Structure 1
Amino acid sequence: MTYALEVAGINKSFGTTKVLRGISFAVESGSTTAIVGPSGCGKTTLLRLIAGFEKPDQGSIALNGRAVAGTGWVPAHRRTVGYVAQDGALFPHANVAANVGFGLPRRARTKSRIAELLEMVSLDESYASRRPDQLSGGQQQRVALARALAREPELMLLDEPFSALDAGLRVTTRRIVAEVLSKASVTTILVTHDQSEALSFADHVAVMSAGSLAQLGSPREIYDVPVDVPTAEFIGDAVVLPAVVSGSTATCALGSIAVSPNSSGISGPARIMLRPEQIEVTTDVTAVSGTVVDVEYLGSEALVGIHVDGDLAERVTVRRFGTSELTAGDRVGIRVLGAAIAYVP
């Protein structure tokens, strides 16, 4: 297997503050990896180390088998790496053609080459004469991407490039960028704190927590089988309940429910995790039942808070798609779909 990027044992501190602790992972050539985590977890620092803007205290970084940090040091401008910042970082005094051409040798800054790069990011060549302040946020980000692609990088780094855009524009721009990079077969790393963005954009997702790599896997693995409760709660909404596990069954406020084989080896007191869409509201209140305490309307879906009856009474949140006519005070039944993931308490 060919790796475009190999990161091994990276540590980084600023003064007495440890920012990264033993980060190790590899990225396959042509793939897309999203690095996701809460603010302050170290993800942007990791990206800057890969780009060559910072030096690691320990560990090594290699691009396509060539060491760029650790055993030797290759400065940022000598790495075949493209970088798109959160705000695009376009030169405000220069037009689009000059911004895109900045990444090209002077002799290659031709009108046809600029037009070709703009076409790659779904912009007409007529945009070449415009200034950045005459563009929308999404157009500015696409110009920044075209400038980065001009260098024909082996690795593209995207540092929260969609976070400043409104919701509709963010989705559209993200799709265009993903298509451009896929068509160009450019290995890509996206840093984001947006969980849904990470899951939809990338082939692989790396979850960071407090400077360490908590889990690396496919989007489905990260969402369906998170390695621990903090990861589960960060990657999407999660219903976490105390339970007692015996064999393949957990007893909790929602009754006796199946436990995933991924939880093998856990027995006795535990915490179990379900996704809200695994909990179904029914009209049958003879089994597990509860009372609706609040409904949060989100347009295409609603989050329904339910106080479950019984000695193990708990509040759970259920996701209902489409129109929900439930209101506070309604009595409902509850049914669990699929299996829960169990963790040691």
Structure 2
Amino acid sequence: MTPSLEVRDLGKSIDREPVLHDVAFAAEAGSITAIVGPSGCGKTTLLRLIAGFEKPDSGTIALAGRVVSGAPWVPAHRRSVGYVAQDGALFPHASVGANIGFGLPRRERTRSKIAELLEMVSLDASYAARRPDQLSGGQQQRVALARALAREPEIMLLDEPFSALDAGLRAATRRIVAEVLSKAGITTILVTHDQPEALSFADRVAVMRQGRLAQIGTPDEIYTRPVDVPTAQFIGDAVVMSAQIQGETAHCALGEVSVGATSVQGAGRIMLRPEQIELNTEGTGVPGVVVGVEYLGSETMVDIRLEAGVDAVEEQRVTVRRFGAGSIVAGDRVHSRVLGPAVAYPLD
């Protein structure tokens, strides 16, 4: 089956500074792909190239098997692409209905059609008469999505559309948008720097670093089996420590930890997620002292100085995530044990 979007060896420089290097990936029809990375990594430039706002220096972009980035060049308005910007980019002087109608052919700008599009994004038809400044941030983003959906695009591009919303509104708006796009079966590319957003919103996640795709895979693959330490540390909290790896076992400051089948042997590093380290006060596991506690409501981050461990040659500190309320305070003696396997990496 031909991918809905296929990017091959895409390169782009701005003011002679390379921004993208040989970026390649494909998105199947109806899928949602999140492109995540730190500011300046090139993710928004990539989105603009797909939209047709800019031309690549090298490589190709194909939509439903049709190359749109070569010769002849296919401009943005002739690509079946919807685009929702970070701030929604609604026309402030126009009503909601007029904003949505802008994306429709003149003959289709009817009350019933606009009401239908508002219903798609979970807004009542009465909102058509309001101005953008009479809406909440989440409502404005849903109107922007309705305007983009009016064109019946094959691909929807979302450029950090939830970043200006507060936490509660952001989560609710994200759920509504994901449901709308999934129901419509529209191939979607989301650009974000928010790791939890990428993991919860998308079927596949692409991690960008310095203009290159470091890894692309399912949210579970990206979180549990990151390709390298920088990717692991970007995509979530990570405990990284030195280890001696023999077979499928790593000997480290946390004792003997399973790493599964791995080609890494001898001196290396392992990565664990903080929730993989279990604390207890009954003496089971590696002893340590709590040196800091950060309360985050539903969870607590506990900083521990380990006192001993198999093959430990220097002081080791780890941060552990505990869910729910807890009574651990700085100065408490605790014991740590690892749940599940770590990921092994060679030394740099």
- Compute the TM-score of the two structures, normalised by the length of structure 1: 0.98
Which secondary structure does the structure 1 equivalent of 2:68 belong to? strand
Which secondary structure does the structure 1 equivalent of 2:271 belong to? strand
Superposed CA offset, 1:230-269 (max 9, x none): 00001110000011111111111101111132xx111111
Provide structure 1 residue ranges, at least 5 long, that are not aligned to the other structure. none
Match of 2:335 in 1: 333
Which secondary structure does the structure 2 equivalent of 1:293 belong to? strand
For 2:282 and 2:307, locate their aligned partners in 1 and report how far apart those are by CA, in whole Å: 14
Pairs within 5 Å for 1:169-248: 169-248=169-248
* CA shift for structure 1 position 169: 0.1
For 2:157 and 2:293, locate their aligned partners in 1 and report how far apart those are by CA, in whole Å: 40
Whether 1:128 and 2:141 are equivalent positions in the alignment is no
* CA shift for structure 1 position 16: 2.3
Match of 2:138 in 1: 138
Aligned residues: 343
Which secondary structure does the structure 2 equivalent of 1:8 belong to? strand
For 2:315 and 2:70, locate their aligned partners in 1 and report how far apart those are by CA, in whole Å: 54
**RMSD of aligned alpha carbons:** 0.9
Which secondary structure does the structure 2 equivalent of 1:323 belong to? coil
Superposed CA offset, 1:197-219 (max 9, x none): 00000000000000000000000
For 1:287 and 1:21, locate their aligned partners in 2 and report how far apart those are by CA, in whole Å: 46
Q: Is the 1:58–1:70 contact (alpha carbons within 8 Å) kept by the matching residues of 2? A: no
For 2:284 and 2:64, locate their aligned partners in 1 and report how far apart those are by CA, in whole Å: 61
* CA shift for structure 1 position 283: 1.5
For 1:15 and 1:107, locate their aligned partners in 2 and report how far apart those are by CA, in whole Å: 43
Q: Is the 1:255–1:288 contact (alpha carbons within 8 Å) kept by the matching residues of 2? A: yes
Pairs within 5 Å for 1:67-86: 67-86=67-86
* CA shift for structure 1 position 271: 1.0
Match of 1:280 in 2: 278
- Structure 1 moving runs of 4+ over 2 Å: 284-287, 310-313
* CA shift for structure 1 position 220: 0.2
* CA shift for structure 1 position 282: 1.2
For 2:284 and 2:328, locate their aligned partners in 1 and report how far apart those are by CA, in whole Å: 18
Which secondary structure does the structure 2 equivalent of 1:89 belong to? coil
For 1:37 and 1:70, locate their aligned partners in 2 and report how far apart those are by CA, in whole Å: 27
* CA shift for structure 1 position 286: 6.0
Which secondary structure does the structure 2 equivalent of 1:13 belong to? strand
Q: Is the 1:279–1:334 contact (alpha carbons within 8 Å) kept by the matching residues of 2? A: yes
Q: Is the 2:5–2:28 contact (alpha carbons within 8 Å) kept by the matching residues of 1? A: yes
Which secondary structure does the structure 2 equivalent of 1:45 belong to? helix
Q: Is the 1:285–1:331 contact (alpha carbons within 8 Å) kept by the matching residues of 2? A: no
Q: Is the 2:284–2:336 contact (alpha carbons within 8 Å) kept by the matching residues of 1? A: no
For 1:176 and 1:70, locate their aligned partners in 2 and report how far apart those are by CA, in whole Å: 36
Which secondary structure does the structure 2 equivalent of 1:188 belong to? strand
Match of 1:37 in 2: 37
Same amino acid, percent of matched pairs = 71
Match of 1:268 among 260, 266, 269: 266
Match of 1:304 in 2: 302
Match of 2:22 in 1: 22
- Compute the TM-score of the two structures, normalised by the length of structure 2: 0.97
* CA shift for structure 1 position 287: 4.1
Distance 1:6 1:286, change over 3 A: closer
